[in-house]
Each structure stands twice: as C-alpha cells, then as structure tokens.
Structure 1
Amino acid sequence: MSDLRKIAVIGNYLPRRCGLATFTTDLCDAIAGHMEDEADNLLAVAMDDIAEGYGYPDRVKFQVRANVPSDYLCAADFLNLHRFDVAILQHEFGIFGGSYGAHIIHMLKNLRMPVITTLHTVLENPTEEQRKITRELASYSEALVVMAHKARSLLMEVYDIDDGKIVYIPHGIPDVKPDSSGTFSRQLGLEGRRILLTFGLLSPGKGIEGMINAMPAILERHPDAVFIILGETHPHIKMEHGDSYRQSLFQQVRRLGLKESVLFHNRFVDIETLTKYINAADVYVSPYLNKEQIVSGTLAYAMGLGAAIVATPYWYAEELLADGRGITVPFGNVETMAKEICSLLANDKKRQAICKKAYTMGRSMVWEEVGKDYIALADEALKRTKDRPIPQITERSDARIIYELPDVNLQHLRVMTDDTGILQHAKYSMADRHHGYCVDDNARALIVAGMHYSLFQDKSVIPLIQTYLSFMHHAFSPETGRFRNFMSYERIWLEDAGSEDSQARSIWGLGVAVKYAPNASIRNMAASLFLEGLNAMETFTAPRSWAFGILGLHAYMEVFGGDANARRLRQDLAEKLFDLFAKCSSKDWPWCEETVTYANAKIPHALILAGQWIPDPEMHKTGLLALEWLLERQTAPEGHLSIIGNADWHNRDGRSATFDQQPIEVMCLIEACAEAFRSTGDIKWMEEAKRSLGWFLGRNDLGEQVCDLETGGCCDGIEAIGVNANQGAESTLSWLISLLTMYEIMGDEVLVER
C-alpha cells in the first residue's frame, strides 16, 4: 500500500500568462484526479515575477517572489512544516531569481522531502553556470523528468548525469476528440476558408515573420487560405518593449498586402477555446527558429488533437512528428514551407492520414495518463528515500545565510527624492532643504533604482529612474561636455563643471542605467547621455575617475558590446590605472598612491573587471592582491571591519585614521568583493562581502547599527563620539547598493564547487 499522501508542485501558475504556468496548472489538475482529499493534500507553490503577484486559485498556498532569496527558504520551511511527502519542481532557468535561476537551489537544499524535477529546457551548449545549475538540480532530485528522448541523451552526454536518474514522461495534452463540423469556423466568420493556425505567447524567435512571407505563395494556389496568429504578446516582451514586435508584424502584413489573409487574434485563451481553434485549423504551423527547442506545449497540444502540422526541425518537432505524424521543413526556407502547406491543402487524403497518426500517438499523452505517471514516480521516490537520508538535509546551514539579508526598503530613498532629484543631506531621517542636490548622488540613486528594478521587477521604481535620469540630463552642459555637480534647492547650478570624479560617477551611473533599463526609451536616453559625457574622460588624470569610468563602460558594454570606441577607452583607462601600480606599489605597499584615501576599493574593482576583459591576467591578479590588502588593513584585531576614516586617511608610513568611517567605503569593498567572487569562484570573496555588510548591521568598532532598517536609510558614518544620526543621500545609497549587490551575488554562491 502506498504511503504517498501529500504532494506539492512548484512552478508558475495560472492566471500568470506563460506556457509553464499552463503546464503546472494542468499537471496539478491531472494529479488531483488520482488523489484522495486533493484539496488538503495537493498544493502549488507559485513563482511571482511582479511585486503584486497574481489572483491565484485556492490551490496556490504559497507565493515566492522570484528575486527575493529569503522567500525560497520560507517556502521550504512551509512545505516542511506541513509535512509534504514529495515536491515536484517545474524548472526553467528564466523563472527563478539569481544567476541563471540559482536561487531555487537554496530551496531544494532546505526541503526535507524527495524532489522530482521536470526540466523544460535542456541545452546542448550550456554556459558553465547553466551546466552547474543543472547538475545541482540532479544532485538534489530523486528523478529528473524529461519530455523528449533527446533530452535524456543530452543530460547523459553533456551534463554527465546518470541514466538511472532520468525518467521520460510526455508533455500532457487535453483529452478532446477531433471535431470537423466547421461550427467554430462559422463562429469566427471564416466558413469556407482554409485555416492555417499558430498559437502561443507572441515573441521574436518563433518564426512568425517567415510564415507571413510564405503566405503570398500559398495564396497563389489557395486564395481561400487564411493564417491566424493566436495569442497575446509575451508579458515580459510587452513590459520591456511594449507591443512593438506585434506592430512590426502588422507592418509586414500591410507591406505584403495580406490584411485579409493574416489575422491577429490578440488574446490569451483557455483550453476549451484553444481546442476549438485547433479543431478548426486545416494546418497547424510551428516555424520556430531555435533548433534546441526541447519541448513545446503548443506543438504537443496540436499534435495530440490530431492537427496536420508543418514545422521547422527543432528537436521536439523532429521527435514528435517522426514516422509520418507531421512534416518538417528546413529553417528559414520560406519556399519549402509554402510548398508543403499547399500540398496538404490540396491533398485531403494525405492530410487526414497525418492527422490520424498524430491523434493516435497523442492518446498516450493525455493528462490523465501523465498524471498517473507522475503519481507513480512520486510514490517510487518516496519509497526509495524512506530508509535513507535525503542529501539536501545535511546542507541546511549553508543555505540559511540568506536569512541574514534584510529586506530592501526604499522608504527613505523616496523621502529624500522630490520632483527634481534626490536631496543631498538629511537631518536625522528628514531631507535637509538648506542644501540642494548633486549629480554624484543622483548617479548613485540611478544605480539603486536600476538594480532594484532588475532584481524585483518593481514598476514603482520606474518614475524614480526617470527623475534621476532627468536630473542628470539637466546637469549635462553640451557646451563644456561636462556634468555640473552641485545645484541649490532653488534649482540654481552652483558651478559650470563638476570634478573629474563627479563626471566619472555620472558615467558609472548612466552605464548601469543602460544595463538595467526597464524599457527601450530609458535605455536610449541613458545611452545617449552616456556617450555625450564620455568624451571628457579621455583627458582625465584622477585614478578614481578612471576606475568609475571603467565600471560605467563595463555596464554599458554588457548591452552595446560592439562599441569600438568604448572598448578602446576602457582599455586605455585600465592600462593607465595598472601603470600606477607598477610605479608606486611595493611588496609591503601594494597600492597605486602614497596615501589610501576615499572610495579605495573602486580601484581594485576596476582592475579585476578590466583584467577579465582585455584579458590581462597580471592586471586581474594585481586587482585581487590590492583588494586583499585593503581588507587586511581594515580588519580589527577582533575580526570585524574597521574602515580607514576620512579624518586623516592612511599614509605609507603606517599612520591611519580610525574615524570618520564612511558607508561609501564599505559599499566599494562589497562591490569589489562581489566582482572578485564572480571572476574567481573563490568563496572567500563571498565571505568577505558578508563580513563587510556586517559593518552596517553593527559588526564595527562601535558595535552599533549604522543602517536603519525601519526607515530604509543609513547614518552618515561612525565618528569618535558615536554614530552620526543624519541619514544623508550618500550614506543611504551606499547601504542600498551594498544590500542590492548582496542580493545579486547570493544566487551565485550555489555555483561554487566546494
């Protein structure tokens, strides 16, 4: 008798609109049909990609914000508390937070039950990070479910995963009989037309343009043909680009004079409506452009309902349509696509034979059978683990470190920001209007808002991004090519040009804005301003301005990597910085100046980045050694961080100021440690970043908390007489950048092989 009673399914869930949400919902329904008291014993854990979440049905008992690491551990605790027997995870790299979705590994490490993982993507040429994530999934799963036999061979050959851990269960389909009555065609107003259909969330890469280009040739032989493109624009595409992709297809249709023959049905349909569309179609078209497509729910549905299919030869199509169950045509071959579709429209006998074979094959794929397969696999996994420990239980302490990260609170950032920009100073936690604004702080605020949007997809920060970017646009003087820095509260500029450092910080902020822009309009504005301000960097002589410039160039080139001038400048600046070390450093003073002053870790940070780009191993090594030295010089005998104060800096003769310690120094250390960790994979840099963050939380010379978790602000540093209680912009932004950086790299920690 089976001991299996309670199952949890983890993945996206309807009404979130994506293929994986549909799959997870249908799988839960299929499993529920084979369970007793399913309302109490089957639940879903849903992944949210928007801050407000979705209006889920009662089955969803827990929601995980994709980019909030602690949510993954809370979800694990929730499932453990309610003693679920088995968890079934739906895996796609893009739905989880962290580098390549690494946050999900933290959940798996904390689950006290066997896990079955369904892989919706298996890549033939993964990045090293993707390969590690997949192997981690395998190590914490009792079974990996694949929906194509090709995926099994890839897991064995590319990922070195044992065949015994891999189980084939087909993609489920609704159990609906073919209907050739033509009723739905009449409802669509297409009675007597030959319907060609494709469906799914609209996005580039699905080959729709090619099919539209094939329509003139099809219409020459079958003037009654009509091509229906069914589906909304993918929510993520629409969020970033609006409906520009759909509009480009509209324009293509108009140029070709196909307005009456290509129809856009712009809606997300339920299964009942979808099956009506498929039954009404004479030919279903799946013209994907990516050969490595290992599964397609839309193709599975169409084949299972007995549609005549013409598809490009992506892996899943080759497998599903083999043995006469459909037709494949070469990628990008519009002529052959048109020819094969015409042959099916002209030969009902051939088309019906394909439909019959497809429908017969689909009987083994109906959700009722798939649900049975998952129940059987879950039962087997539970039996196998009954008398042996589950591997992840022994690693709980490693994952719990995420709980040390406080929530990101932007309350004080908003308090300090008006419709001009972020104010520079504060009295306690209130903005001090006796002082005005500066471009330095608005550049840093732009970084905070961009990082926050990238991590949490929180649309409420977009107006903040626009405010800070607008301030920087106003700060730039086309006549001088320089950013002005200080503005009074009355909006009067107090100088014609800022310092080299403020110009370079502006370049840094704008580069990050390009990288993290929530839409094309903001990205274009930031890139334009970035390029205008870049020219002045050519003649700068301050080392920190070079370092800030390198960081901005790095971020900018993550989007515009082909910019030859930017590539040249980043190398020039990096070599200038590196040359300073050759001239000034020694074994006991591995530094580029005679005095260690301010924003110090930005210099090794820039060398670590540039050493990877060029590449220059010695430059990279020099950056790591300088960072290590800075950390050693700023470590108290008790082991906590003791920052070099700006009262008198730190001289080569050994004299070092203890106060005033500034949050910006800690921020620079954390960012540099994060890059050192990314570039080396050495866990010691992660530990140093965590130790540095502790300075804000009370692990410092005074033993007092510097950040204010209630307001979201940060005090203006540590003085000999205590913590400076004013929560100014620079300090608050330093705290927020530090915390957001930790959120960014925490997901990367699971990629390190210990």
Structure 2
Amino acid sequence: MPQRKETSEAALVENQGKILIKETAKARKIAFVGDHLPRKCGIATFTSDLLSAIATAYPESQCLCVSINDIKGGYEYPEVVRFEIEEQDLSSYLRAADFLNISNVDIVCLQHEFGIFGGPAGGHILAFLRELRMPVVTTLHTVLREPRPDQRRVMQEIISLSTRVVVMAERGRQMLQEIYAASPGKIDLIAHGIPDVGFVDPAFFKDQFGVEGKIVLLTFGLLSPNKGIEYVLKALPQVLEEFPDVVYIVLGATHPNELREHGEAYRMSLELLAKKSGIEKSVIFYNDFVELESLKEFIGAADLYITPYLNEAQITSGTLAYTFGAGKAVVSTPYWHAAELLAGDRGVLVPFADAEAMGREISALLRDDIRRHAMRRNAYRCGREMVWSNVAQLYMQSFEQARLQGTAPSRKSLLTKTLDLRPPQLPALKLDHLQRMTDSTGVFQHANFSIPNFAEGYCTDDNARAFILTVLLEELGQDRESVCAMATTCASFLQYAYDPHTRRFHNHLGFDRRWLDEQGSEDSQGRAIWALGFGVGRSPYRSFQFISGQLFAQALPAMTEFTSPRAWAFGLLGIHEYLRHLSGDTLVNQTREALLSKLVDLLDRNSSADWPWFEQELSYDNAKLAHALILTGRATGQQDVLQRGLDALRWLNQVQISGKGHFLPIGSNGFYKRGGPRAEFDQQPIEAQAMVSACLEAYRATSDIWWYEQSQRAFDWFLGWNDLGLELYSPESGACGDGLHVDRVNRNQGAESTLAFLLSLAEMKLTNNMMTSFRKPTANGN
C-alpha cells in the first residue's frame, strides 16, 4: 500500500479557512427535528452529522433529536433520538411539540424538506411549529423557484414561524427574499457541513477496492432516476477510447421511496445499459448505504467526482459538498448548488443530459494534470470553511441570535388567533332531546316542536347518522352505558333495514314497524355504508365491528351501480373508515377506486374556472362531495385528487359567506342553479354540518389553520351568527330547529337537524381535543 502523504500545500490551506472564536454555548438544551440515521436519506445523514458536530463542539449543551418515521414501527434509533413523529399522523406532531415544551428545550433546529413531512406540501409541520414555546432555527434544504400554491403557503408560514432560517447557498438567500418575501435580517448563510479529511493522494485508498492502477471516477448517493447516471454511462465509451484504465464507481443504495414504488428497476436499467454499451468491465455498482468512514475512503480513492443530476432546482447537495471539500476535481451539471460552488475554476460544468459534453470534459480533465490538480487545490482550500467543526460554530451563533430575538412574533400572534391557550368555548354536549326522540326501535324521523312525531315513523338516514354520533361520543368519553345503549338500537335498526334479497336498505319504517318502501334512495344506502364503515373502523366494541363488517360486505358491491354523487361520497367516507381497520381488503380498495373515479369524472365534466364544482347546481349536503375527495386523496396519497377537493371546498366556502362574514348556506327553497338566482332560505342544518365536517378534514389534511376557522364559522351558524341572529340549538336539551326561514327559526326539532348539530359539536370537540390535549404549561408558565 502506498504511504499516505499530505502535500505541504494541504498543510497551508488547512490554516486558511475562516477561523471562528468559539464561545461557551448559552443554549443548554438543543432539539434537532428531522430524519435521523439509520433512516437512509440525505436529511437523516445531515441531521445526524450536525447534531454530532454541535455536541462535540459544545459538550456543555445537551443535544437530542425528534425524528420523522416514514415506515410503520420506525427505525432502531440511537439514544439521542428521544421522540418519534409518524409522518402522516397530525396528532403526533402536536405530541412532539408538547414533549419539547415540557422538556424545557432552549432551541429547536428544524431540518425542512418537502418530502419528509406529512400533509400536502408537508404542511403537518406547521401544526408542530405553531405549538412551540422556544425559538426555532430552520434549515431549508430546498428552496423552490416555482412553488405550487400549497408549497408557497407552507414555505411562507415556515419562514414566519421560524425565528431564523438557514440556507446553504447564496442563491437560496436571494430566492427567499425575492420569491417568499423573507426578511434579509432573519436569513443565515451556512454551508453544508463536511468531514475534515486530509488532502491525500487517491492511490492511498485504491487497493482497498481492487482498483489500484486505475483512474477512478465516482458518483455516490441514493439512486433514483433524477440522478442522471445513465448519461455518464453513455459518455464512458468515448472516455475509454483515450483512457482505457478508467473505472466508474456508482456508490449507493436505491432510494427507499424508489425501492418501495419501483424496486430495483432503475439500477437494473443502468446495469443493462452498461452491458449494451460494452463497458461492464469498467463500471462497478456498490449497492449499499455506507457508513461515514467507508464513504471517506471511497471519496479518497476518486480521481474525479461526477454529479450528473437532471434537475436545476437543487439548492444544496451533500454529496457534492463532501467530495468538493475533500479536494476532488468535479464534473457536474449546472444545478444551483454546483453552479455556485464550482465557480472560479473549482470545477467543470456541463449541460444537463448531454453525454457527449460529459465525456469531452472528463477526458479533458484527465488529460490536463496541471489543471485538474489546481482545481483540487482550489476546492480543498474553499472547503476548509465547510468542515463540521466550523459549521457547528456558525449554527451556534445562529442559535444564540435566535435566543436573543425570542420566539417568532408571527407564531405568537397566530397562537392567539387559534385560541391556543383557551380554545373556542363550545356548548356542552346534551343528549336529552335525542334520547327523547329514540325508542327501542330507533330514532324517530320528525318532531312537532320537541315532541316525537310517531306518524312519520323512522328512517335509515337518521339512524345511520345517530350510529356515527355514538362512535364519536365514545371517543369523547361520554357516558358509556347510555351511548352504548343508543348504539345498540341504531345498529339493530340498520341490520333490520337491510334486505338480503334485494341487497339494499329500506329507508322509511312506520311506527307499526312495517317498511313503507321496497328499497330506500341511493343516498340512504350511502349513509348506511358510511355508518357501517364507522362501526368497523372506529367502534371500540367487537360486536359492533362484526355486525357492521358483515352488513358492509354485503351492501358495498351495489355502490358502484349507483348514479347519485352523494351516495358515492358517503360510500367513500365509509370505505375510508372501514380501511382504518381492514386496509388489506382488496375488494373494498377496488370499490374505492371505482367510486373515486366516478366522482372525479363528474368534476371533470362540470367544472370550469368560474364554477369548479361537481354539478351544475348547488343543492343539499354539498360539502360532502369535496369532503370525499379530500379524505380519499389524502388517504391514497393522490395529491392531485386532494388538491381538487380543497379547491372545490374553498370555492363552496366563498359562495356560502355572507357580506357580513357569517356562514350563509344554500337555501333549500330552490337551491342554486348555475347562472340562476340563489335561494337564500330555507337554510338547513345539514348544510352547516357538512361544511363543518369537510373543513375540519381539510384542516387535518393541510394543517392550514384557515380551514379550522372556516369550520368554526359554519358551526357558529347554529349558535346565532346567521342572517337572523337567532340560535337554532337548545342549550338545555341539545335539540336543533329544523331550519332558518326568512323570518324565524323552524321550531320543529327533528332528528336530521338535531343530529346535524350534535355531529358538528362532537367533531369540533374532538378536533379541539387533538389541538389542546398535548398542550400543558411549561415550567416557566408559558
């Protein structure tokens, strides 16, 4: 093995980097939030290295990590990971914030990348940030030049909720100011950290990999199609003509997301390309995620490093930083980080997806030893500022400045806006009237004032709604005995309503317990499926799970034959709840796909820029259509479906806000046909309930507090913030009037209206519990 030699120039340039005066840390407890090793991704490596660097540089400070899990069960983390967040579980973000608040953490250092957090555009992290009681320094690993609207919203709010933000390139600082209107005073420019390695002759490491005497080209990092490695392979034949001793090492495991979705297809395509090009003897694939010490040896063996990425919009690259700082000559495509770092004869840039240019520049560098070694020295000299010990001091300076500034002002004002310390006061849950409206058969359909109307009998619609309410009441911890008794009555009604011969539910039952129809409407079938899905997915009682599951399996196939959009929507809501518990049911998943396709196709056929809706009319239970898209899009990971549901609901919300700012539902006295007059009355409680529920789902999907505010606006309609300024609900009994007429409240208190109010109230309380159950006072009383 050749002796390890460090040039005298290396010794010189090691002392030419930016020297910082290290001070004792005032931030005694620092929490890093992001991915962490052994998760295989660049953010995990960065978070682990940054935490370790600061812990080493400032041993008087206690460093810990809150890590994000993208797989069930998480990873075998080291002890420094003190709390884990489930990527798609909004409530776990709130629990994590509470953990940090009660742990008296001085500073939170968040690593932000759109792909690692749950919700549209990673919006769940906003709920976490809003709850924190200490300064936050956020490192932005991606800054998009052309963000989607949801990405722009998330980024702007992250900037607002952060005390300071860190970028790793000057281009990132400029974009934050120009595109996201970030204040220059809160932006810190700190380069990507790198290991501190010597300026070593590559021959020292080559025999470890069996490439002694070879010219080594290297690319490393997690493999995915956007890395552009195929263009290096296409360039190699022309390089090998002049330099037959060249060997190209591709180091790195396939990216976990790519592996889950497509397996090793990309790697196999690269290997096949190498064979077809006749260069397989000159290409080595190391399919492994190597530890840092091994990685440094691979980098040390390289004569030339290549980053052929295909996407310009990459503001930072850890792989480029590592090799650049190790004093390697680099050939790269001109993505943003490379264009900035390799300027000034510190590397060579070639056009994207241009194999000929790639081969030409590689050969030119291998041919010109003087230029290549000068490039190495320039890179190594510049890289001394990027070593982790130096980066750790720069981060600590940012932390100390954040502590002097305190928490972000926008976070405090937003917390006030969300009533964080004292949530909106909601009425008490009173079931007196609902219990009065229920006998041993089921829930009566109508009432004369507050007296059940026996003549109108019962209906499946209302008993399905009531069964859903009982499940929510269980989750709220209401009196189990009375709630279970009502759930039993409603479940029995649904079982009796189902006709196994027609495979349909009856809807209307007379007081004499005789069915008044051959089969119910499609909408009533959909509501029954919705309720049964709740029973399977959320009821705590095995008996309800079993009976609901049996009926659900028998009744579901008919859903695909229905033509009612609301029936499809109710079906999708029920399917979602069912799959909470039985996600592996292929038939139910296929039915979800079919119903979703129907609803999306309906939206495609009817929507336009000025009318982004499913039908040419707004009629009843409108928000349920958008609700179904939001819920299903989120559950299936179909961001386009989720976004279309959000867009439709946002438009519907705008249509239903009065000039005075209160909720103004479409009246049932004529509805609202496109281009025609809008019915202002009779306003129905079912519309308010649909809007409350849909907006809360939008809030859970996006973490955008605006949606919560819209749900509160719709709920306030029941409490008197409406056209007449009159309450519809009875605080004494929990009853609700049957609607709002032009001059009065309809004082009949039927089941549909009362259940609309109680369902809305239960959902609001559950959401408030989620938002507040983990918020406890910290030691300093904040």
TM-score of the two chains, using structure 2 as the length reference: 0.63
SS in structure 2 of the partner of residue 33 of structure 1: helix
- What is the distance in 2 between the residues matched to 1:139 and 1:380? 16
Amino acid at match of 2:357: T
Aligned residue in 1 for 2:316: 295
User: Does the 8 Å CA contact 1:674/1:686 hold for their aligned counterparts?
Assistant: no
Q: Is the 8 A contact 2:221 2:253 kept in 1?
A: yes
* Equivalent position of 2:186 in the other structure: 165
CA distance, structure 1, for counterparts of residue 313 and residue 328 of structure 2: 23
Select the residue among 191, 196, 199 that pairs with 2:220: 199
Is residue 293 of structure 2 the alignment partner of residue 272 of structure 1?
yes
Distance 1:228 1:333 in 2: 20
Aligned-pair CA distance for 1:334? 1.2
After TM superposition, give the deviation of residue 250 of structure 1 in Å: 2.9
> Structure 1 pair 403/443, CA: closer, same or farther in 2 (3 Å)?
farther
1:95 to 109, 116, 127: 116
CA contact (8 A) 1:140 1:391 kept: yes
1:369 aligns with 2:394: no
Change (3 A) 1:441 1:285: farther
Distance 1:343 1:275, change over 3 A: same
SS of 2:280's equivalent in the other structure is coil
> Is 1:687 equivalent to 2:712 in the alignment?
yes
Contact 2:123-2:154 at 8 Å conserved across structures: yes
**Corresponding residue for residue 671 of structure 1:** 694
- In the alignment, is the contact (CA less than 8 A) between 1:602 and 1:669 conserved in 2? no
Mean Cα deviation higher: 242-251 or 671-680: 671-680
Give the aligned residue type for 1:505.
W
State whether residues 90 and 118 of structure 2, in contact with CA within 8 Å, keep that contact through their aligned partners in structure 1.
yes
SS in 2 for 1:64: strand
Cα deviation, residue 488, structure 1: 4.8
CA contact (8 A) 1:169 1:370 kept: yes
CA distance in 1, matches of 2:346, 2:153: 36
- The 8 Å contact of residues 110 and 393 in structure 1, kept in 2 or not, is answered as no
The aligned residue for residue 500 of structure 1 is 563
Aligned partner of 1:711 in structure 2 is none
CA distance in structure 2 between the partners assigned to 1:120 and 1:447 by the alignment: 41
Q: How far off is 1:14 after superposition?
A: 0.8
| 1:210-230 deviation per Cα after TM superposition (whole angstroms, max 9, x unaligned) | 222212222222222222211
Deviations 1:195-218 (A, max 9, x none): 211111111211112222212222
User: Compared with structure 1, are the counterparts of its residues 362 and 699 closer, same or farther at alpha carbon in structure 2 (3 Å cutoff)?
Assistant: farther
2:415 corresponds to which of 396, 407, 418? 396
The equivalent residue for 1:26 is 49
Query: In 1, distance between residues paired with 2:40 and 2:136?
Result: 25
- Which one-letter code corresponds to 1:314 in the other structure? Y
CA contact (8 A) 1:693 1:739 kept: no
Amino acid across the alignment from 1:64: I
222, 230, 233: which is aligned to 2:243? Answer: 222
Q: 130, 136, 140: which is aligned to 1:109?
A: 130
Alignment match, 2:59? 36
Aligned to 1:68: 89
For the residues of structure 1 that align with 2:607 and 2:232, how far apart are their CA atoms? 43
Shift of 1:391: 5.3
Match of 1:51 in 2: 72
C-alpha contact (below 8 Å) 1:179/1:280 kept by paired residues: no
Offset of residue 2 of structure 1: 5.8
The answer as to whether partners of 2:529 and 2:552 remain within 8 angstroms in 1 is no
Give the aligned residue type for 1:35.
Y
Contact kept, 8 Å, 2:67 with 2:81, in 1: the verdict is yes
Per the TM alignment, residue 273 of structure 1 is displaced from its structure 2 partner at its CA by 0.7
Q: Which amino acid aligns with 2:710?
A: W
> CA distance change for structure 1 residues 699 and 20 in 2, over 3 Å: closer, same or farther?
farther
| Counterparts of 2:157 and 2:254, CA distance in 1 | 33
TM-superposed deviation, 1:312 = 0.5
Deviations 1:238-291 (A, max 9, x none): 222322322332333333333322322111011111111111112111011111
Relative to structure 1, the CA distance from residue 348 to residue 674 in structure 2 (aligned partners, 3 Å threshold; closer, same or farther) is: same
Q: Is the 8 A contact 1:443 1:505 kept in 2?
A: no
1:103 Cα deviation from its structure 2 partner: 2.6
Deviation at 1:122, TM superposition (A): 1.4
Superposition pairs of residues 712-731 of structure 1, within 5 angstroms: none
Partners of 1:369 and 1:496 lie apart in 2 by 63
Task: Give, in whole Å, the separation in 2 of the partners of 1:300 and 1:672.
Answer: 44
**Kindly tell me: are residues 703 and 230 of structure 1, through their superposed partners in 2, closer, same or farther at Cα, counting changes over 3 Å?**
farther
- Asked whether the 8 Å contact 2:25–2:58 carries over to 1, the reply is no
Distance 1:70 1:576 in 2: 31
> Could you tell me whether the CA contact under 8 Å between 1:110 and 1:399 is conserved in 2?
no
Q: What SS is found at the alignment partner of 1:118?
A: strand
Quick one: structure 1 residues 672 and 257, their matched pair in 2 at CA, closer, same or farther if it must change by over 3 Å? same
How do residues 338-349 of structure 1 correspond to structure 2 at under 5 angstroms?
A: 338-349=359-370
Q: Distance in 2 between matches of 1:81 and 1:653?
A: 50
Deviation at 1:404, TM superposition (A): 9.1
Report SS of the residue matched to 2:188: strand
The answer to whether the 8 A contact 1:578-1:607 is kept is no
Partners of 2:717 and 2:354 in 1: CA distance: 57
1:14 is the counterpart of 2:37: yes
Among 27, 35, 50, the alignment partner of 1:4 is 27
Which of the residues 341, 358, 380 maps onto 2:379? 358
Q: CA deviation at 1:158?
A: 1.9
CA 496–206 in structure 1, closer or farther in 2 if over 3 Å, else same: closer
Conserved? CA contact 2:606–2:613, under 8 Å: no
Unaligned runs of 5+ in 1: 414-425, 453-467, 472-484, 535-548, 555-566, 582-590, 636-651, 705-717, 724-730, 745-754
Alignment partner for residue 257 of structure 2, among 233, 236, 244? 236
The 8 Å contact of residues 570 and 628 in structure 2, kept in 1 or not, is answered as: no
In 2, the alpha carbon distance for the partners of 1:153 and 1:606 equals 40
Check conservation: 2:526, 2:567, Cα contact below 8 A: no
Q: What's the counterpart of residue 98 of structure 2?
A: 77
Q: Which residue of 2 aligns with 1:258?
A: 279
Task: Give 1:4's aligned amino acid.
Answer: A
SS in 1 for 2:564: helix
Cα distance, 1:300 vs structure 2: 0.1
2:51 maps to a residue whose letter is C
Letter in 2 for 1:87: V
Maintained 8 Å contact 1:112/1:390: no
Deviations for 1:122-165, whole angstroms, at most 9, x for unmatched residues? 12222343333333333333322111111111122222222222
CA gap of 1:502–1:369, structure 2 versus 1, over 3 A, is closer
Change (3 A) 1:693 1:672: farther
Contact 2:665 2:680 in 1 (8 A): no
Return the alpha-carbon distance in structure 2 between the equivalents of residues 141 and 656 of structure 1: 43
User: 1:401-421: CA deviations, max 9, x gaps?
Assistant: 69999xxx9xx99xxxxxxxx
Structure-to-structure mapping, 1:329-340, within 5 angstroms? 329-340=350-361
**Alignment check: 8 A CA contact 1:627 1:672 kept:** no
Is residue 2:302 matched to residue 1:281? Answer: yes
- Aligned partners of 2:137 and 2:164 also within 8 Å: yes
Partner Cα separation in structure 2 for residue 154 and residue 701 of structure 1:
57
Give the deviation of 1:603 after TM superposition: 6.3
Q: How many residues align?
A: 599
Contact 2:689/2:714 (CA < 8 Å) preserved in 1? Answer: no
After the TM superposition, which of the residue ranges 204-213 and 97-106 deviates more from structure 2? 97-106
Q: TM-score, normalised by structure 1?
A: 0.65
8 A Cα contact 1:27 1:172, kept in partner: yes
Equivalent-residue separation in structure 1 for 2:654 and 2:244 (angstroms) = 68
- In 1: Cα distance, 2:532 partner to 2:198 partner: 56
Contact 2:527 2:567 (C-alpha < 8 Å) held by counterparts: no
